[in-house]
Structure 1
């Protein structure tokens, strides 16, 4: 009757006991050709037809959907066993209707605490409530939290590992370079670092190795030059203290030896002896055989003297055909025995020079250090005096200063 008088009428959705489902009734007036109402067309719509769509939405959102009438009575729901759905609290329903689209916490249709929101149908007196159990939401949040924490920890560890690898890739070569530089600074120039990278650090390592090679070459050149200079210095030193003809110590070196021995004698009273030797008739030898023969004999006698003394003794050319032998820590008796041995050895030796055989003899003066001596030349003076006594006595003799 309302459709005839008012036009299209929609009866609020409700649970229809006849059809055992939620329905709503739609009444539309039927008009004749002259627009007079001749009746009404009434349709009963089964709301369960929308269940597949509701289930699809519920599956995609992980929540549940419940369709209510305006009093809050459940009509349809996506819950398993929807017949056990209960009405929610009226004040909650009022709150959901007043704040449509805003989430609220309330006791849901299964009497569990849920988080839900409501939307009003535009053309039907229906309320659609979407809700999800708070425990499920918390569990989902826990899973999300754990996943997030796992992701954060994983990313942190990954970043830390990458930072450590990057740090090691930079620090380790730098430590190697620093250590190698320290070894070079300590004098170890044999260092050679392996080049295993093609970046700036690899280039730096190559430059370092080149520098080490240059240092080694420079050091070798320096060592070679230093050794050559040392040999030259030794040669110059030897030449400065050596008589060029005989190879014995020269007069300058003899003066140093005598001064040193005299100083030692004054410190510890250990005596030393001096032999002053002269080749007999050397002027006649020069005149008869020539100066070259004289030089040859001088060198030969000098060699014989060097071979006849101890390693601690000193032999020097005093001047001309005279020689001096210094005998450290030697008494006059031992010095006399050595002088006699040398004299006999020279007398028994012959020298061949240009198909000529030459023999010479020695006159020897021997002196020993004394407490009354004020300089080494006092000893030389006594030995010289004994030498001339030997010559006056007929040469080829040894005379000692008692």
Structure 2
């Protein structure tokens, strides 16, 4: 069986190991000089990713493809020249350490609040149904940032959906200019793309409507085709969260059918990988990382495996070497993503490989405006040991 620490060929890219740092929102951006600049990664962000460059693959935090996608405050984007320029030092420093980094592209769709959108406009979606029960980090009536209910969206017109495909392609082109090795399309967690794929939510009657499987997935496939044309085969991944309920997603009786069709179609289109994510619970925790039949059973994953020539990344609750290696040993996945452990362990790969203890970050520092605190102030095990010996 393949070792967690063995190299892996991801299309044209050779990864140094099979450990992945998945997208994690950290809200540490800096506002641009102009409203159209959007939020920008800064020197701290560059240090943060550089510190973690020993992982096989870094997938950046989610990036807005357009101002209409700005559903959460202090989230970076890739739709302005200022953002392209600001991301370049990040990719340069990761590459200088021998790392590989993809950018995650997203549009939140109905999971947004008008206070963060241009001219206070309503969020857009496949539907006009509000994500009742879901909250986003936005500006309250007093102008202060807080968690607020997602606003009622308006359904995109057919022409607007087609135009959004081009917006994804432009964002991918911008990511390439910023030096990223590839991009991941976020089609999970109840965001815009999944709002189209869910058969219970998508009740449209146009070519992107929920009446047929091909129509419900057309938006994603057109995006993948456009982005692969921009970046090339083997450099585009897609994140999926089958059976997930995050973002007030209704139960979809056609989830398995949709999942298997999407995976097969992604293989035909030259996607590098499928990134499988367990659903996020209301408190932000992940479910167990074990393969549970009520989510994705082995038979279903085996079917997906047989139809997709690319790699599978598994993400969701991994916190030690043993469970990660056991999941690799099933032969159903190729790469393992560790989320929260990467917050407090910039040298996570080395700690896992050598059996060193893992540090644990306090949840209160996950999202903060206190500069380096809880972001780039976590020492490596070697630094920690040296400090203890010097004391």
User: Greater share of helix residues, 1 or 2?
Assistant: 1
Larger radius of gyration: 1
User: Greater share of strand residues, 1 or 2?
Assistant: 1
Tell me which interval the TM-score lies in, with the shorter structure as reference length: under 0.3
Q: What TM-score comes out, normalization by structure 1 length?
A: 0.18
* Structure showing greater relative contact order (alpha-carbon pairs closer than 8 Å, 6 or more residues apart): 2
